[in-house]
Each structure stands twice: as structure tokens, then as C-alpha cells.
Chain A
Amino acid sequence: MSQTSEPVSIVKGNAFVVSDASGDVEVSPAVPTGFFIYDTRFLSTWILTINDQRLHNLSNDQVHYNLVRFFVVPGEATVYVEAALSVVRQRTVHGGIEEELTVFNYGHEPASLTVRLRAGCDFADIFDIKNAQTNGKKGSLYSNVNDDSLVLGYTRETFRRETLITASEPARFDEQGLTFTIDIEPHSQWTTQIKVAPAIIMPDGENVIHKWRQGYRGMPRDLDEMLSVAPRLTSGWDPLKHIYHRSIVDLAALRYSSESGHGAMPAAGLPWFMSIFGRDSILTGLQALPFIPELAATTLRVLADWQGARSNDRRDEDPGRMPHEIRVGESMAFSEQPHQPYYGTADATPLFVVLMDEYERWTGDADLVRELEFEARAALNWIDEYADLTGNGYISYQRRTEQGLENQCWKDSWDSLSYHDGRLPGFPRATCECQGYAYDAKMRGARLARQFWNDPAYGDRLEREAGELKEKFNSDFWIADRQFFALALDGDGAQVDAISSNMGHLLWSGIADESKAEAVVAHLMGPKLYSGWGIRTLGEDEARYNPIGYHTGTVWPFDNSFIAWGMRRYGYHQEAAQVAAGILDAAQFFDGRLPEAFGGYERKVTSLPVRYPTACSPQAWSSGAPLLFLRTMLGLEPIGDNLIVNPALPSGMARIGLLDIPGRWGRVDAFGRERVVDSNEALHPPLGEMSREMSRTDRRPTDNMP
């Protein structure tokens, strides 16, 4: 009813609350409002009234990623007259919700009030909401009203979940909520603490949620602690500090800890992907290495724990294959979803080896490389023995379960791969970037084999295979008359000829021939792919191009961060700086928090990056993107026990200082000053200055653009 403004989210690991601006939650079939944990909604209705009146929002204060204060007053916004009553709802989420409700009476008369919280829960599985399934729950809902609590419950066979609601002040509980009858003297206040505690109930009645969450105990609780160990940033371009801070805070918020005590790894993104995702965790771990290296270590260990051990068609599992997605909700428990775990990813397995090598290069943690030798070898073995579905030497994919993903590359929506004319290719599909990852995994695996596994012969073999793969790839995937790499090979081994951002990943993996890099970079920065804000997922003249198509035209910040890194690898410093500048400029329009994706519209046309409707935010690898851009702009590269700094900053950045970068060298500082890297894309001045400038000159901001 009163959801006129943006929803408000707070998050901690895999627990999150999405409400309207006044703090209320109303069930919505398609929008994930409510309190969620472990892929289940534990609260779907939470509406505050005073004397039967709803409250409306004056302002919110998001104090912390898991703490928000709502300042609300009774009555609708349109009829608001200086009320004597006002309310502060302070809400914290961790394993449950704690809500402190304070009612102020600033009137001259005592106030007799009925304060009510309407509560309800549908125990929806996150996939019920995502897929807008309205066919109802298969189990049954129940509620138990006690003198001092309300229990909302759901049971289906042996699966049982409950929500326990209690309050610190006397309340009357009924099946639909709790009511306080209170009197407040003039210029006085009344406060109560309300707790909403989720429970995972075993058939013998034991609530095991605390055991599931025991991994969080070892996690640094304090954000300040995390911020204090991350490198400090100085910059001549003010917005960068805010973007950087926001990235670290969001990665702290998304820290997900399993019960194993391995530490924290990032959950993929709010609201749809608050779980372990192989690819997302690995790529975020790579982005964050110079800043929060422990995310990579945890990711490696957790994925190793769940590495595929046998072939199982229902889960697209094979020995050595890394999991794509692990869920713990009802739909997975009853095999209505395959995430038990689900292994349908073509890239997480080679990327596991890439992350392991890069992690050691930064941290010098040889113990972990030795500890995970078996798992790394199994991953490398998977590339040759299980991933090559057509026998042509390339990683390809084809799901073995109807529940699985048709596309098992990072662009995993059904229509993400197409020919220039819009037709969809047949299976198995071999996307170009996966071959790059395979090449990189073998090259890096060769180093690990020689240096840590005492197996130089294996190292030689991997390097030889990588060389052969590179040679063959540059012939089979190269579209000579158009001078770019095919998006994929189809089931018949023919080229899928749409122009896409995928080939940008061939640069960071190093599989592209030096001689082809110039043409690749020219395409990536050309008008078909480069919007002015970033590189589009699909070229503008492709039949399936749509600037707000999920993988068919939007700009993905994480994608751009890896492409820019690759451009640096091949010596295209100016272009890398230009890509960084475009995305960092865009970040300003999202208050420093880059979403999963934004529209691929031409910058000169829209003058601001257009929001993608259902983008996740925060999303781990979008939060990680500014971190990788920092690494790229500063040209940070670990060589032996030293950190090489070779900055190339975009115009407008002036300078960047990154202090206390952790690594095998201890801690070092890196500084960059703007050199004559004359990027075409100058950074915008900070938004505030830009608007001042606009008001002075009445110029559109795009007029600043070359």
C-alpha cells in the first residue's frame, strides 16, 4: 500500500530482510519482501499499526549493512499534520531479526495506544518467488499462540520450519500477530524489543539452526575490523573513495559462512543468489585478492569440499567438477530443484585452478596449494576427461537434467548465445571464454606442479597441452573475415558468429594470439560493443541485441573489470583505463554500489546508466569490480616476492594511493599519478560538482564527453 519508495534491504551473510520504506513487509507474489535465511522466507507479513493506523516513513538511516532505523509517524503521507506521536523502528538482522520499537509522545496529553504488529509467514522457498509459482505449498502451515509468543510453522513430511516471535514488553498474542496496549505520558516514550527467530526443526523436535550457523562465530563481527585490515585508498577523484568503501562494506555484508569453520566467502547477490555459487565466489575472490585475500582461501576450501566425486545426471555432476550452486531450501530438499549441489557450470572448474595459482602468487600460502593438490589435479583432469563432450578438445556443455541450466557459462540465461542472425545454436556448446579459462588453468597448473607438487613431468604435460589448445583455438574460433573470436562453437563445431563481450575474457586468460589482440580490443572498444559506460554483453547490430536484455545487451560491471584486466595484460593500458573510467562513472549514479548489470544504451543518448529492472544489489562480483579496476589502473602484479606497480590512470583521476596492500611481501603501498595515458573517456567530475557545473552553464553532462 505504501510502497511508493524504494525497498529497504539489510543483510548479513545469507540472512536478509527486504521491507518497504516504513519498515513494513507485505507479501508479494513476485517481489522477495520479508525475512529470508537458508533460501526460505521466515516472515512474509510484518505491519505496524498504532490505533489501527498504518505508519508512514519520514526517513531511514541505514546505519550498518545489517542495521536500519525507520523514522515513522501514524497516518498517510498525504494527510500528515504535525503528529504528537512518532516512532523509531530499529531493525537488526543476523541469524534472526531484532526490532526495537520506540514510540514517542511529544504531545501535552497522555496517549492511550494500541500498538499492533501483524505477522504472518508463507515459508516460501526463494525459487517459488523467483519463478512466481502460485500453485501453493505442498505442506501445511500452522500457528501456535502462547501467552508470551507466537509460533508460525510449516511442515511437509519431515521438513519443518518455524518462526518464533517474542517481545520484551507484555503483549497479547493471537494467530495474526501481537498487540500492546500502552499509555505514554506527555513527553515520554515507550520501548519494546521484538525478536523474530527462525528455526529448522528436526523430526525429534530439535532446532538445529544454531549448529548450521556455527561458522559465523569465528567470523570477525565488526565491520571496522574488516575495514581496518583492507588497504587504505587515497585518490584525486573523490567518488573513488566512496565507491571503494562501499565495495568493502558490501563484501563484508555478503560474507557467508558454512558450518565447517573454513571462514567466510561471499554469497553471490541479494536477493536471488544468497548462497554459494562456484563461479561467482571464484571471480569475486580473484577481484578481491589484493584487498581481502581470505575470501579466496575460503572459496577454495569450500569448493574443494563439495567438488564432484561421481557422475550423477540429476545434478550434472562428474568427478572433479566444481559446484555451480548449493541451496538448502524446500525445493532443493524435495528434488524440485537440482541444487543438491548442482554442478552445471562449465567454467568454475578451470577457474578454481586459476584462483589457486593467483592466490599463491599474492599471498605465498604454499600450504594451501599443497593441501588442495588432489582437488586441483581432479579439476584439471575434468577438463580433459569429462568436459570435452564432442571429442574436439574443447570444454563444452549440455545439461543432463531438465532441471539444469541450458547455458552453463557465466551468461547462463537461455537466450544468451546466438548467431548473428539470432538463431540459437545446438548442443553441446563450447563458449570461447571457457577455452581461455582451460588454457589459463593448464598454464597455472604447470607452475603449481613444478613449484609445489614436485611433479615437473606433469607440469610439462600441462604446458604442452595448453600450447596445443591455444594454437587450435586461435584457428577454430577466429572469424578471419570479421577479425574477432566467435562467441562459441555449436554442437557441429561450427562458429557461433555473434560479436560479444565473451572474447574480452580471452585477454585475461592469455589464450588469444598477440597478433589478434589489436583487432579484439578495437572491437571491444568499438561502437557495437562499447556504450560509453562499458562493454555490452552483446553487440548492438546482433539480431538478439536488447539494451535491457539480461545477457543480450546490458553492461555487466564484473565482466568489464575482467576485460580491462586482460587489456592491461596485452599492453592496452589506455583502453583499460577507459573501461575503468566508464564503469566508475556509472557507479556514481548508483550511490557507489554497482548493480549486477545496467542497460546497454548509448551514453550519449541516455546521459545516465539505465537501471536493469531486476538486477541484484549488492552483488558480490559487482562489488568486487571496483577492486579489480583499482588493481588494473595501478598495474599491480606480484612478481616473486615483490609487488610491481605500473600505473595507468584515466584522465580526471589525478592520483591513486593504495596503502598497506597485503601479500607475501608483508604490506606495501602503491601510488599512481595520472600520466599521459590519454584515455578518450575522461572521468566525470564527482556528481555534486557536475550538477553545480550544470547549473552554472546549463550544459548537459554528456557535453563534457569527447
Chain B
Amino acid sequence: MGPDVVETFFGDLARRGHDPALRRGESTGRFDIVRDGEVERWFISIKEGNIEVSRGKEGEPDWVMEADRGDFAGIVSGDDSALAARVRGVLRVYLNGGSQSFGLLTKLFSAPSKPGTRSRARQRDVAE
């Protein structure tokens, strides 16, 4: 819980590098993570499915998502749904111009499955 989950998330996102599921989500964005009144800003660039994460960039991004750190930790851990958090008002989402898809951007919260991941049944078969 707490700082590790959030920092781990952005670290993993940076290491994800290429995610074909985000190929259609070409954009620049920013996560504003709020704790004790302080705002941590994480800048995201998605180009041809390649994700870059950085701190302290300037400029107007295509989208911004803002949440308290605890709420954000719930989303990135999968305990909470980004859509549910948005509907409750704990995840604030700003999309510029209406060309961004929130559904597509929620894929940032989900690392792609590793190639060759097998279904439960097959895993069971192997285990048995």
C-alpha cells in the first residue's frame, strides 16, 4: 500500500515500453497524484504503442487523470476499477477535444498478458 504501489506502477509502465493494446491511443497525458495537498506529476507519452514515462515535462497534454494517492493505488492494483472510480468522482478525468477514449486509456492500468499465458483449465491440467 502507499508509495510503493504508485511508484512501482510508473516504474512498470516505463519498463512496459511497447504495448500493442495502446497503439490506437497515441497521445500525451499526465497523471496528477495528490497526497497531503502536494501534487506529483507523471507525464506519459504514447506513440505507436510505445510508452514513455517522465517527470517534470511542460506543455498541454491531451489528457489528465487526477486522484488521491490512496485511490490511485487501488486502481493500479486492480482492487478498484478505473471506470468505477471515475463515476464515484475519485478519479478525475480530463479529455481534450473528445478524441481520446477513456476505455483505451484504462489499458495503462493493465500490463498486457505475457505471451503464452495459458488458461486456468490448462494450468490445472499441467498441475495435475
Contacts and interface: CB of A to CB of B under 8 A. Distances in A.
B103 A202 contact: no
Interface stretch (A94-102, A211-219, A643-651): A211-219
Contact of B98 (A203, A259, A315, A378): A259
Contacts of B24: 304-305, 371
A307 B88 CA distance: 22
A106 interface: no
B17 interface: no
Interface in A386-400: 386-391
Interface residues of B, number: 37
Contact of B121 (A215, A258, A391): A391
Contacts of B98: 214-215, 217-218, 259-261
Nearest to B85: A333
A391 B87 contact: no
Contact of B111 (A261, A310, A340, A386): A310
Contacts of A374: 20-21, 23
Contacts of A180: none
A699 to B, nearest CB: 57
B84 A335 contact: yes
Interface string A202-225: 111000000100110110000000
Interface in B61-103: 78, 80-81, 83-84, 87-90, 92, 94-95, 98-103
Contacts of A319: 112-113, 117
Contacts of A160: 89
A258 B89 contact: no
Given A211-B95, A334-B88, A388-B122, A309 B83 contact: no
B20 A158 contact: no
A332 B87 contact: yes
Given A309-B21, A374-B21, A387-B119, A328 B87 contact: yes
A326 B87 CA distance: 12
A339 to B, nearest CB: 9
B107 interface: yes
A157 interface: yes
Contacts of A215: 98
B37 to A, nearest CB: 14
Contact of B125 (A157, A315, A391): A391
B104 interface: yes
Contacts, number: 109
Interface residues of A, number: 52
B101 A260 contact: yes
Contacts of A271: none
A217 B97 CA distance: 11
A237 interface: no
Contacts of A201: 89
Given A158-B89, A328-B83, A385-B117, A261 B99 contact: yes
Given A214-B98, A260-B98, A159 B89 contact: yes
A159 B88 contact: yes
A387 B24 CA distance: 26
Contacts of B122: 385, 388, 391
Interface of A: 157-160, 201-204, 211, 214-215, 217-218, 258-262, 302, 304-307, 309-312, 315, 318-320, 326, 328-330, 332-335, 340-341, 371, 374-375, 378, 385-391
Given A204-B92, A310-B111, A385-B119, 11 more contacts: A203-B89, A259-B98, A260-B98, A309-B107, A311-B113, A329-B87, A332-B87, A374-B20, A385-B122, A386-B119, A386-B120
22 contacts: A158-B89, A158-B90, A203-B90, A211-B94, A214-B98, A258-B101, A309-B21, A309-B112, A309-B113, A315-B81, A319-B112, A319-B113, A320-B113, A332-B83, A333-B84, A335-B84, A340-B81, A341-B83, A378-B21, A386-B119, A389-B119, A391-B125
